[in-house]
A and B are shown apart, each in its own frame.
Chain A
């Protein structure tokens, strides 16, 4: 597509539920990134994919968070047993290659856990 697409744009869920957030990167971009932005903060790194594999998942806060990119294109961020502290905007970005040239971000998914 023309840009990075994230769905849904907004998600409200109850504490303890499971959620999936989807990212469709720019066609041909091999690198894909997930960031989380809490209120009043800058984006914080969660995970980086190069192709199908998670090259760096060091930013995932705990084992309730998991992400996949099975065919090297669309990625899904999965959060189990959601907590109120998971409420944030989840940003996806992609780039043609990794490193140094800047990303293209999606519009984000605003997750609210009530």
Chain B
């Protein structure tokens, strides 16, 4: 079955602490993985995608095919990182996303 699992509904960290938002997936084939973010009262927006291997707002994510994971990491959390984060996958070159249930990140002052 194709599935994205985000095991934490809520993650609270202090400002300056490292952050890791977990994402595991199940997919038969070559998936493409994405992280989307939704800040308070804003629309869902693309944060990063694994194929571009980029760092956005200090966040990185590495696709680990052995562990079928795509965890989102940031070495030093900032208060403005507080948001809802969704991990998503699609089949290579396809259009349909499967989203996880999301993790709410709260960065405490």
Contacts and interface: CB of A to CB of B under 8 A. Distances in A.
A44 B43 contact: no
B88 A100 contact: no
Give chain A's interface secondary structure class: loop
Contacts, number: 59
Interface string A83-114: 00000000100010011111111111000000
Given A42-B4, A42-B86, A100-B51, A48 B43 contact: no
B90 A99 contact: yes
Interface in B82-102: 86, 88, 90, 92-102
B45 to A, nearest CB: 7
Chain B interface size range: 20 to 34
Interface residues of A, number: 28
B11 interface: no
Interface in B41-92: 42-46, 49, 51, 86, 88, 90, 92
Interface of B: 4, 32, 34, 42-46, 49, 51, 86, 88, 90, 92-102
